[in-house]
Amino acid sequence: MARIVMKFGGAVLASTEQIQEMAKKAIAEKDRGLDVVVVVAGMGQSANEMKRMVQHLTDEVSKRELAVLMSTCSQQSSALLAIALQEAGYRAVALTGWQAGIHTDSMYSHARIDYLDASRIEEHFTQGDIVVVAGEQGIDDMDNVTTLGKGGAETAAVALAVALDAERVDIYTNVDGVYTADPRYVTKAQQLQEISYDEMLELANLGSHIIHPRAVELAKKFQMPVIIRASRGESVGTLLKEEVEMEKNLVVRGVAFESDIIRLTVGYDAYSDASLADIFTVLAENRINVDIIVQAIIDGLKPTVSFSILKEEFAEALRVLEDSKLSLGFSFADFEIGLAKVSIIGSGMASNPGVAARMFDRLRRENIPVKMVSTSEIKVSVVVPQDDMIQAANALHNEFNLEQAIHI
Amino acid sequence: MARIVMKFGGAVLASTEQIQEMAKKAIAEKDRGLDVVVVVAGMGQSANEMKRMVQHLTDEVSKRELAVLMSTCSQQSSALLAIALQEAGYRAVALTGWQAGIHTDSMYSHARIDYLDASRIEEHFTQGDIVVVAGEQGIDDMDNVTTLGKGGAETAAVALAVALDAERVDIYTNVDGVYTADPRYVTKAQQLQEISYDEMLELANLGSHIIHPRAVELAKKFQMPVIIRASRGESVGTLLKEEVEMEKNLVVRGVAFESDIIRLTVGYDAYSDASLADIFTVLAENRINVDIIVQAIIDGLKPTVSFSILKEEFAEALRVLEDSKLSLGFSFADFEIGLAKVSIIGSGMASNPGVAARMFDRLRRENIPVKMVSTSEIKVSVVVPQDDMIQAANALHNEFNLEQAIHI
C-alpha cells in the first residue's frame, strides 16, 4: 500500500479546533487508501510555558533535562491528535520518538538522527492504524530522551518517509507554499509551484522559515519529494524535487532575507596564531551555526576573521569563544549588531557571472551599504544594516523581474 | 550507602518557587549522606489543561492515548525538579517511568506495577546523582507508555524503595500527618505520631486522602516504613510501621469520612440468575472500585445486591453493567445518590465486640439513619446521608474519646 508522511507544525496545532481540522487532513489521505504517518511538533503555548518555568529556575539549563522537559510538548500533541482521529472513527496510535524507532546521538537538545527502526510503525500499518509520531524527539544509545532541535519534526518526517519508502512528505504550515520572496514584505512576490532541493536549501538557510535545511538536505539525499502547503484551504503548495527544468532559464528564482544577524570578529596578534579550523571546530562542536565567514589577512595589519551568526546564538557563541580563548590563541573579539542578510537564489546563477555585479550595483543605487558578501553556486548573500533589509529585498525582487515568475 | 525515597505530590510542586523549596528537602537528605530518589507527580495545572483539551475532543477517550498524554505531566515536573537541583549545585537526573525501570501491565490509565528493574538508578547512584523519577507512569510489555492511576506516584515510590532497599519513604503533602479525623471538619482532631499499616489502610480507603491504599498495601507487604509529612515547616509527620504497641489499648484510633458515595443496587428475577462473582469480576476488570457490598436474598423477594462506589466512577460503572447486562443476567439496576461513608478505625477493635454497637447507638441518638454497614477486624463503616456526615464524624470522635489520643 502506498504511504505518505504528513508533518503538522506547532502553529497549525495551537487549539483543539485546529487539531480537529488537521485530523481531517490525515483522514482524507487515509480515505484515499494510503498508509498514513503524521509527525507533529509541540503546541506552541505549551513549549513557551515550559521555557518560562525553566527561566525561573536557572540561567544555564542542563540540555539533558531540557530534552526530557521539551519532548513532552510534541508527545502531548501526538496524543491529542490521535484522540481526535479516534473520535472521528479511525484507528490511530500515538507514538513517542523512541517508540517510533528514532535513534539519535546524545547531543540532547540538538540531536541528529543516527538510524531509524520503523518496525513498530510497520506493525501498526498492518493493523490499519494512522500513526501519529511525536516529532522533534528520539532516544540515544543510553536510552536517554533527546530532542532534535530546530527543524527536528520536519527532519524526522523526511527520515520516516525514507525508512517507510513513502510516496512523499507533505509539510503543512500557515503559508501557501514557497514564494519568490516573503510576501509580507515584498508585495509583488509570486508563489512557486516547484523548486529544486538546492534552491530550497538556500532559501531555507537564508531565513525563509518554511522548512528547515536539515530536512531539505535529507530529502535531497534520498530524493524524497516534499510538498509545502497551507493547513487552510486547498492550496496545491510548492513541490520540492530534484529538477525544475522549465524554469532553468530564470536566473534568479527568489529573494530571501533574515534579520537579527550579528557579525562577530576575532583578531590575532600574528598570522601564526590564527587557526580558522580550530575556531569553527569549537563552534560546530557546540552546534553554533556560523554563516558567512570573511577572513582578512592584510600585510601590516593584524589578521582577523569575521563571521555572521544569529542573535539568539550570540550569548552562547561568546561563551564558547571565551572558554576557549587560550587554546584558540586569539587576542580580541568584537561584534556588530543590527544587521540583516539579503540573498538572491537561483540554480541558473552559476552560468551567469554578471548576477552578483548586478546585485551590488542595484544596492549601491539604493544607497545600501554592504557589510559582508558570500557566494555559492546558486546564491549571493549580502549583510546589510537591518533598517535597509526590506528596501533591499524589494529592490532586488524588482531588479531580477521576479514579479513575472513563470508558473508551471 | 543508606537510601531514601521521597515522594512529592502535585500540590507541593505547583509553581517554580515550590519546586525550589522541594529541591531543598531533597538536598537536605543528600547532605545527610543518603542516596536519594525523588518520585514526583505531575503539576496540577498542567494535568487539568490536558484534561480540558481531551474533553473538547471526545467524550470517550482511548486509555492508551490518555496515558501518552497524561504521563507528560509528571515527566515535566521531574525535569523541572532536576533542573532546580542542578541549579543548586547538585548532580541530578530526571528519569521517565520506563527509564526508571517501572514495568506494568497494560491497563493504560490504571496500570499495576509488574516488576521493577532498578539497575539504571543504581548506576546513577554510583555517579552521585539525585534521581528524580516521573511517578504515575511505567511501560508495558509492548513498550507502550502506561499511567498508574490514582495513588500511582506513591505506589511507585514505595516500589522503588523496596527495589532499592531504602531506609524509608517520605511522602510530602500539604498536611502535617495523619489525624484522628480530618481536622478541617472535626475541630478536636489530634495528630498521630505513629500508625500501623492496617489502620492507615482503613483510613486511606475511607476517604482520608493522605496516602493511597495501594501504596500502603505495598509498604505493608514489604514492611517498608513510610513517613507522611508536611512540605512546609519541620513537621515530624506520622510514621507508618507494623506495630504501634503503646496505643494498642486505645480501641478506636481514628474517624474517617468520605462524601460523594453512590449506592448501586442490582436485582435479579430468580436466585439462580444471581452471580455475585460475575458482577464483581466485570467491575474489577474495568478497575472500578466497589466498596461496601450488601447482598439481600430474602424468601419471597427477588434477590438483590447493593454496593457503594465513588460518584466519579458512577458513569463508568453504569456503562460496564449495561454492556454486560445479558451475560450478567440481572433484571434491573437502581441507585441512590447523596450518600457518605463514616468509619471508625482501630487495630484493637477486634477484641472489643461492643464497639460497633456503641457506634450504632450514638448515631441513633444523633438521629442519623444508617443505610449500609460494613465491618472488618479493625474498622466499622456506615453509609449515611451526606448531609449528616460531619455531624456523625464529630459525634463518633467524641464518643470514642479521640480528643485525648495519647501522643508518643
Show residues of chain B in contact with A93, CB under 8 Å.
64-65
Q: Let me know if A290 is exposed, middle or buried by CB neighbors in 10 A (0-12, 13-18, 19+).
A: middle
The CA distance from B115 to B117, in Å, is: 7
Q: Between A19, A54, A57, which is nearest B20 by CB?
A: A57
Please check whether residue A132 is in contact with residue A95, taking contact to mean a CB–CB distance below 8 angstroms.
yes
The CA distance from B83 to B86, in Å, is: 5
Q: Between A68, A78, A84, which is nearest B68 by CB?
A: A78
Q: What is the pLDDT of residue B133?
A: 98
A61 close to B (CB below 8 A): yes
Q: What is the pLDDT of residue A378?
A: 79
Residue indicated by cell numbers 534568479: A252
Please check whether residue A383 is in contact with residue A263, taking contact to mean a CB–CB distance below 8 angstroms.
yes
Q: Between B69, B73, B96, which is nearest A80 by CB?
A: B69
Please check whether residue B316 is in contact with residue B326, taking contact to mean a CB–CB distance below 8 angstroms.
no
**Strand B102-104, strand B3-8: pairing:** unpaired
Q: Please choose, from the candidates B310, B312, B311, B333, the residue with its C-alpha nearest in 3D space to the C-alpha of residue B321.
A: B333
A20 close to B (CB below 8 A): yes
CA distance B66 to chain A (A): 7
Tens of pLDDT along A261-293? 999 888 888 766 666 677 888 888 888 888 787
Three-class secondary structure of residue B397 per DSSP: helix
Please check whether residue A210 is in contact with residue A175, taking contact to mean a CB–CB distance below 8 angstroms.
yes
Three-class secondary structure of residue A104 per DSSP: strand
Asked if A57 lies within 8 A of B19 by C-beta distance, the reply is yes
A106 close to B (CB below 8 A): no
What are φ and ψ of residue A326, in 5° steps?
-60, -50
CA distance A400 to chain B (A): 49
DSSP string across A27-96: HHHHHTT-EEEEEE---HHHHHHHHHHHHHH-SS--HHHHHHHHHHHHHHHHHHHHHHHHHTT--EEEE-
- Mean pLDDT for each 10-residue chunk of chain B (408 residues)? 94 93 96 97 87 94 95 96 97 97 93 95 97 96 94 95 96 86 86 86 69 90 93 84 63 87 87 71 82 72 82 89 85 90 81 77 91 80 93 93 65
Rounded to an integer, the average pLDDT of A187-211 is 79
A80 close to B (CB below 8 A): yes
Q: What is the pLDDT of residue A219?
A: 94
Query: What letter does residue B351 receive in the DSSP assignment?
Result: G
Q: What is the pLDDT of residue A390?
A: 94
For domain A255-404, give the fold.
VC0802-like (3.30.2130)
Q: Between B94, B99, B120, which is nearest A65 by CB?
A: B94
Q: What mean pLDDT, rounded, does chain A reach?
A: 88
Tens of pLDDT along A317-369? 989 888 888 888 888 888 999 999 999 988 767 666 678 888 888 999 999 99
Q: Between A68, A76, A87, which is nearest B78 by CB?
A: A68
Secondary structure, 3-state, B67-88: HHHHHHHHHHHHHHHHHHHHHC
Which H helix or E strand runs over A326?
helix A325-328
Q: What is the pLDDT of residue B408?
A: 38
Q: What is the pLDDT of residue A34?
A: 97
Q: What is the pLDDT of residue B351?
A: 63
Name the residue with higher pLDDT: A372 or A122: A122
Show residues of chain A in contact with B66, CB under 8 Å.
79, 83
Cα nearest neighbour of A49 on chain B: B46
Assigned C-alpha cell, B319: 456503562
All residues at 6 or more sequence positions from A90 whose CB lies less than 8 Å from its CB, including other chains: A27, A30, A130
Instruction: List the end-to-end C-alpha distance of chain B, in Å, as a whole number.
Output: 30
What are φ and ψ of residue A329, in 5° steps?
75, 20
Q: What is the pLDDT of residue A275?
A: 67
For domain B3-174, give the fold.
Carbamate kinase (3.40.1160)
B62 close to A (CB below 8 A): yes
Which H helix or E strand runs over B230?
strand B226-230
Q: What is the pLDDT of residue A350?
A: 63
Rounded to an integer, the average pLDDT of A149-168 is 95
Assigned C-alpha cell, B79: 525535569
pTM: 0.76
Q: Tell me the ipTM for this assembly.
A: 0.74
DSSP string across A290-311: ---EEEE--TTS--EEEEEEEG
Rounded to an integer, the average pLDDT of A21-43 is 96
User: Which stretch of A33-42, A226-235, B239-248 has the lowest confidence by average pLDDT?
Assistant: B239-248
CA distance B23 to chain A (A): 11
Mutation site, A21, A80, A124, interface B, largest B CB count within 10 A: A80
Q: What is the pLDDT of residue A298?
A: 65
Q: Domain-by-domain residue ranges, chain A?
A: 3-174, 255-404
Which H helix or E strand runs over A4?
strand A3-8
